[in-house]
Amino acid sequence: MAPILSGKRIILGISGGIAAYKSVTLASRFTQANALVDVIMTHSAAKFVAPVTFQSITQRSVATDTFEFWHDAGRLRIGHVALAHAADLFIIAPATAHTIARLALGLSDDLLSITALSYKGPMLLAPAMETNMWTHPATMHNVQTLRDWGVDFIGPAEGRLASGEVGEGRVAEPEEIFEVACKVIGRGGPLDGLRVLITAGGTREPIDPVRFMGNHSTGKMGAALARAARDLGAETVLVHAPLAVHPPGGVTLVPVHTAHQMYGAVMERLPKTDVLIGAAAVADYRPTDSADRKLKKSPKQQIITLERTPDILQTVGERREETRRHPRLVIGFAAETNDLEANAVDKLTKKNLDLIVLNDVTAPDSGFAVDTNRVTLFERDGSREAWPLMSKDEVAQAIMQRVVARLGRRNWKRPRQPSQVDEP
């Protein structure tokens, strides 16, 4: 769920291309997120998908005609003006070359373009067209003009096009558009201007070219945190080991495999990080020697010698004094099977964290791989708070509210940047 969209008014403009059918899924996603979706279709879009399809999905009228009046709060209003003034976000998906050109020229010769011209808020376009049309200097120029005005774009992607050819011009997938829409609408939120780095997933330590030591982390918890930070306006980086879930859109993704790589990726970005959250399950040990060829079966016992990997959060914690308490907030997770509270508090202190989130990974509905989590929060002042079972998205949103309470826009000033953070 994306609470950022709940109650928001979204205009979903649909211009004429075969990709119009994908916007049915998009309209459905927004509607399920409790947004009010007003669909405007061009006449050619209505040849690809019938307006009644969108009407059924959104449970709202679909507009195609400039000369329509709308009943709103008992008053008769001019359709395009009423829609444009009420909307929180304007999306056009698919946006054809022609529609993009009309927007860039400020034309207003149909309901979609006239509403766009009357609208002042955030706008997101998902172009879809044949490759030569997309790369044509006229289209590139129009896209740049719109970008300069602050319009956001997603895609187009490479892939099979309506012509049967393969190239750049395919509309972004509905889920990607949905995710980027959350980011666009979240701009200016309480974490706007803050840089949040989250680690996610289980690191993989190679034994040989085909085997590794790993753990059960899927990255669900970390991905949920990244979405929650993004939706509150934070500039979000997700440093992730291989994920078993779709990575969130609208965040900077930094893929890694091993604990060493994750350490390097975090340390490199540390001077530009205000909030660090370690949700990754990082290997504490790795094979001392990773074989460069696949190990063969043998009747003899195989012994793998292990060596310690760097502890990312501990290193950050140790350096916080010399980096003028930068990041300003460091939050860890504790995945425990026994002596839960004692172990969590021990990690909070040893790693010099501000907050640790304990999850009991032996509970079937909590911890690794499941969609829910039951967590207890421990703070430096000795306070503790047990939360009920929630979805990982809800846990992530509640943790982000903690971040807002500590560092939200009214409460923070960016500290002086440390000049650099040394390698160990």
Binding site for ligand PMT (CB under 6 A): 199, 217-221, 259, 278-282, 284, 309, 311-313, 332-335, 347, 359, 361, 367-369
Contacts by residues 63-72 (CB-CB < 8 Å, ≥ 24 positions apart): 63/38, 63/39, 63/111, 64/40, 64/111, 65/111, 66/110, 66/111, 66/114, 68/111
Nearer residue to ligand PMT within complex by CB, 87 or 239:
239
Contacts by residues 79-84 (CB-CB < 8 Å, ≥ 24 positions apart): 79/111, 79/115, 80/111, 80/114, 80/115, 80/118, 81/118, 83/11, 83/38, 83/40, 83/115, 84/11, 84/115, 84/116, 84/118, 84/119, 84/120
215 as an active site residue: the answer is yes
**What are the backbone angles phi and psi of residue 335, rounded to the nearest 5°?**
-100, 105
For residue 424, give the nearest of 271, 318, 282 by alpha carbon.
318
Nearest approach in angstroms of CB 154 to ligand PMT is 26
Nearer residue to ligand PMT within complex by CB, 99 or 359:
359
Nearer residue to ligand PMT within complex by CB, 275 or 281:
281
What DSSP assignment string belongs to 47-71? HHS-HHHHHHHHSS-EE--TT-EEE
Nearer residue to ligand PMT within complex by CB, 133 or 253:
253
Distances (CA, A) of 378 to 176, 298, 328, 374, 382: 35, 48, 17, 14, 7
Nearer residue to ligand PMT within complex by CB, 66 or 290:
290
Nearest approach in angstroms of CB 236 to ligand PMT is 17
Among 132, 215, 343, 352, the active-site one is 215
Residue nearest to ligand PMT (CB): 278
Give the torsion sign (CA, 55, 58, 60, 65): negative
Nearest approach in angstroms of CB 237 to ligand PMT is 15
What whole-number distance in Å separates Cα of residue 214 and Cα of residue 171?
36
Nearest approach in angstroms of CB 267 to ligand PMT is 11
Determine how β-strand 390-391 pairs with β-strand 372-373.
antiparallel
Nearer residue to ligand PMT within complex by CB, 327 or 332:
332
For residue 122, give the nearest of 188, 63, 62 by alpha carbon.
188
Q: Which residue has the tokens 């329509």?
A: 68
Question: Which residues are catalytic, by number?
Answer: 215
